[in-house]
Amino acid sequence: MPTKIGGFDTGPVHVGGGRSVKRSSDTSHSSSSSDAASSGSTGDAHITDSARKLADLEQTIQALPAVDSSRVAEVSSSIQNGTYKINPERIADKLLQSEKDLQKLV
């Protein structure tokens, strides 16, 4: 396929299977509305509700501190004093609630 030096090759583009696609005569402008309508694309990006929720959640998480220092101090003190109690029912309930919350986002 010959290419012009200092210019653009305006011949058809071969896409395989013996088919070819005509090159656009002016690539500097966006396609016309009839071209967009015939291809089924408007050129607009659409963000789904799930993606929007995830973006909002990401911003919320980034705004939170990485570590709750007061909670760490409280738990450390409880462990050192021997007063830290593990509540398996509470852990299970929180895990189930977390799973339910995640399912709502989908």
pLDDT tens per residue across span 40-90: 556 677 778 888 899 999 999 999 888 999 999 999 999 999 999 999 999
**Dihedral pair phi/psi, residue 100, rounded to 5°:** -65, -40
Supply the pLDDT for residue 22. Answer: 61
Q: How far apart are CA 45 and CA 41, in angstroms?
A: 10
Residue 23 has pLDDT above 60, yes or no: no
Nearest by Cα to 73 from 81, 64, 65: 81
pLDDT at 33: 44
Q: Residue 2: pLDDT above 80?
A: no
Which of 72, 91, 69, 68 is closest to 80 using CA atoms?
72
Nearest one of 10, 42, 43 to 27, comparing CA atoms: 10
The percentage of the chain sitting over the pLDDT mark of 90, rounded to a whole number, equals 41
